[in-house]
């Protein structure tokens, strides 16, 4: 791995913690292990079971086939309607540069525009990172990846699918004006199974099995990095440490009633020592405990009631820590009304207690200190929401899903209410051709630049952010097991707190401007399963994202006109498999505006040069007796060692190599 000390300071509002994000080039390693075989994937949330079909009792699942290729992780891109774009777990594992991590498959989907290559923060159809919501099994989480381009904060073995809702997402999700990334956990299994991986930078393991004659299950997993010791040998001035854990217990009270407890958390620390003075660049941790009661109704419906406790903390500028202690509850219901109509509805509440310790060694009359205190004061925030939609199969060729979500918000003495309609339509014009349409309106309280644990803006008096999202596409099944999708999208953003999109780096973003904006574009996706003997994909997005303040209209800071990803994977036989991935995107706009206040930019600015990178993956797998396997894997992101240019400054090259052993049973 190579890196440069050149960095791009996005804005002082990153407050130390977020500035660490822009210093990604100081040292990064990555890659999780291979997902284990698991029970067949449940249908995506957008593909409910037929309303008249009675749900089976909660009985132990039969032991699955040991072939990893039969297990699916769904990555839903571009579409809310029932027809989904998916990648199997085997495909995710074969995707070069993803390190077997389902979350990393998100970045290859059309509509996803990277801020900087290798970082897990991106615009989705013009929505900035702070407007992208993350959920794991229905639980809100602050981020999905460890610091310094690390692996995901949950072990891949517990992830059943990852859904990316680029816009017009189901009414179940709300309080985010951009996109939604929703990961669903695997169903509990009673057969004993597990996996482990050992790499240059970390080790991970997961094991699950049943007890009480199959009525109960227990799962334990986690990952620990030993990068602190590694960097002490390579670069003594850099300290990088991360770890995570997952634990899940379930017990079937009856054939239709189940109680369960799901706990998970993550810790990250990144610092740099200069002249014997250690500066914390990024320090963050979060923990969740989710208790659930699930019941299946005789008529085919089901309901989940859950209560969630959370603790978040982030180290920010000048030695301060911000914290959030949260308590939430939710009820989710699915109930067939007729043979052709399914009702989905729910309510959820959230209460957050935010606090921050006092800034040490500060002048009490310092205006910047007052600005910070006004932006992140100790306070109580609350939100309550109710939602419902109907999945109506009008006839075999036409289905429609109308929905609505209503939310109420309270923060630091201010309150607001929102009502968000949603609509999705699928028309099967031919057995191989589907028309896909989605529309949605969404509201969100003011947001920080990037999602960080315990960091939330308290300026609700400025109103809610609001977006209108529309998309229309066509999906065609082609010969040779190819599938092609083309989608047009148009998004409108009002009262956005997209500081990174409207301010040059270095400005004081404790004064958050409000802007309007929009994003228009076309997405093209051609794919063949990467787990085939010869598989691959081409994903291309042509778009334009703009912002406007006081009549000045200009491209957003990380507007990239062209984004292209392509990959090939080939089974060489005898357990050998190799693959390569090529990524290219055009440069972002230059930020300086002579003769205008720093907040404004020209309508047609100079742009940084394009950037491209090549990733590769080589694997040798050995089958062990019974259902076991072991693999030796070499993988690398940016094998071409290319340097990226951000606002005229060279950054990198950022490369992420990985050599390791993976195995499971």
Q: Which residue has the tokens 């079909």?
A: 53
CA distance 609 to 586: 7
278 in Cβ contact with 270 (< 8 Å): no
What parts of the chain have a pLDDT lower than 70?
Answer: 1-90, 228-235, 317-319, 359-374, 503-511, 591-601
Amino acid 230: pLDDT: 65
Amino acid 349: pLDDT: 97
CA distance 53 to 301: 9
CA distance 385 to 477: 39
Q: Which residue has the tokens 């959920």?
A: 135
Nearest to 343 by CA among 51, 44, 52: 51
Which residue intervals of 178-284 are DSSP H helices? 227-234
Amino acid 658: pLDDT: 87
Q: Which two three-digit tokens encode residue 429? A: 């014009």
Residue 338: count of CB within 10 angstroms of its CB:
11
What are the backbone angles phi and psi of residue 59, rounded to the nearest 5°? Answer: -110, 160
Amino acid 545: pLDDT: 93
Q: Could you read off the pLDDT of 417-427 as tens digits, one per residue?
A: 999 999 999 99
Instruction: Give the distance between the most distant pair of CA atoms in the chain.
Output: 75
Nearest to 183 by CA among 45, 66, 54: 45
pTM of structure = 0.83
CA distance 641 to 613: 8
CA atoms within 13 A on the CB side of 204: 33
Domain boundaries, the chain: 12-191+385-664
Direct distance between the N- and C-terminal alpha carbons of the chain, in angstroms, rounded to an integer: 32
Amino acid 240: pLDDT: 82
**Domain 12-191+385-664, classified CATH 3.30.70, yes or no:** no
């Amino acid at each position: 791995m190579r890196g440069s000390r050149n960095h791009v300071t996005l804005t002082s509002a990153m407050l130390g913690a977020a500035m660490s994000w822009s210093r990604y080039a100081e040292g990064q390693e990555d890659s999780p292990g291979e997902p284990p075989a698991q029970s067949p994937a449940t249908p995506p949330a957008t593909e409910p079971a037929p309303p008249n079909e009675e749900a089976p009792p909660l009985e132990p699942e039969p032991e699955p086939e040991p072939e990893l290729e039969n297990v699916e992780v769904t990555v839903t891109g571009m579409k809310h309607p029932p027809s989904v774009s998916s990648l199997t777990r085997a495909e995710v594992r074969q995707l070069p540069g993803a390190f077997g991590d389902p979350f990393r498959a998100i970045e290859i989907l059309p509509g996803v525009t990277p801020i900087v290559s290798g970082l897990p923060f991106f615009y989705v159809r013009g929505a900035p990172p702070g407007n992208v919501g993350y959920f794991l099994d229905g639980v809100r989480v602050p981020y999905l990846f460890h610091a310094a381009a690390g692996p995901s904060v949950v072990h891949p073995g517990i992830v059943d699918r990852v859904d990316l809702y680029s816009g017009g997402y189901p009414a179940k999700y709300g309080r985010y004006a951009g996109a939604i990334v929703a990961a669903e956990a695997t169903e509990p299994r009673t057969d004993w199974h597990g996996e482990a991986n050992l790499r240059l930078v970390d080790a991970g393991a997961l094991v699950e099995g049943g007890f009480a004659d199959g009525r109960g299950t227990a799962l334990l997993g986690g990952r620990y990095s030993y990068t602190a010791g590694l960097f002490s040998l390579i670069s003594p001035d850099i300290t990088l440490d991360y770890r995570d854990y997952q634990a899940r217990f379930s017990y079937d009270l009856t054939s239709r009633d189940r109680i369960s407890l799901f706990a998970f958390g993550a810790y990250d620390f990144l610092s740099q020592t200069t002249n014997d003075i250690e500066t914390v660049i990024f320090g963050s941790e979060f923990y969740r405990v989710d208790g659930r009661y699930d019941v299946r109704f005789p008529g085919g419906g089901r309901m989940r009631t859950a209560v969630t406790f959370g603790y978040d903390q982030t180290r920010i500028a000048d030695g301060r820590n911000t914290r959030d202690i949260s308590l939430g509850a939710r009820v989710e219901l699915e109930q067939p009304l007729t043979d052709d109509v399914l009702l989905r509805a729910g309510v959820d509440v959230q209460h957050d207690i935010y606090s921050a310790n006092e800034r040490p060694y500060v002048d009490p009359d310092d205006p910047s200190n007052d600005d910070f205190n006004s932006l992140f004061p100790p306070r109580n925030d609350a939100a309550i929401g109710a939602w419902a939609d109907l999945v109506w199969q009008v006839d075999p060729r036409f289905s429609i899903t109308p929905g609505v979500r209503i939310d109420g918000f309270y923060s630091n003495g201010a309150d607001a209410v929102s009502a968000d309609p949603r609509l999705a339509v699928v028309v099967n014009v031919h057995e191989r051709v589907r028309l896909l349409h989605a529309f949605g309106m969404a509201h969100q309280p003011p947001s920080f630049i990037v999602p960080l644990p315990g960091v939330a803006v308290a300026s609700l008096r400025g109103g809610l952010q609001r977006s209108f999202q529309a998309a229309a596409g066509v999906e065609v099944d082609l010969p040779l097991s190819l599938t092609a999708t083309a989608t047009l999208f148009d998004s409108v953003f009002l009262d956005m707190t997209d500081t990174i999109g409207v301010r040059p780096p270095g400005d004081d973003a404790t004064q958050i401007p409000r802007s309007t904006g929009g994003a228009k574009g076309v997405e093209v996706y051609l794919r063949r399963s990467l787990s085939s003997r010869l598989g691959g994909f081409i994903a291309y997005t042509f778009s334009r994202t703009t912002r406007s303040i006081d009549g000045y209209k200009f491209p957003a800071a990380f507007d990239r006109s062209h984004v292209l990803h392509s990959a090939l994977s080939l089974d060489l036989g005898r357990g050998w498999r190799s693959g390569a991935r090529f990524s290219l995107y055009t440069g972002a706009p230059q930020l300086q505006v002579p003769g205008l206040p720093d907040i404004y930019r020209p309508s047609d600015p100079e742009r940084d040069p394009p950037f491209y990178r090549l990733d590769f993956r080589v694997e040798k797998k050995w089958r062990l007796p019974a259902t076991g396997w072991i693999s030796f894997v070499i993988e690398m992101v940016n094998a071409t060692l290319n340097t990226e240019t951000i606002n005229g400054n060279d950054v990198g090259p950022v490369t992420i190599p990985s050599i390791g052993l993976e195995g499971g049973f």
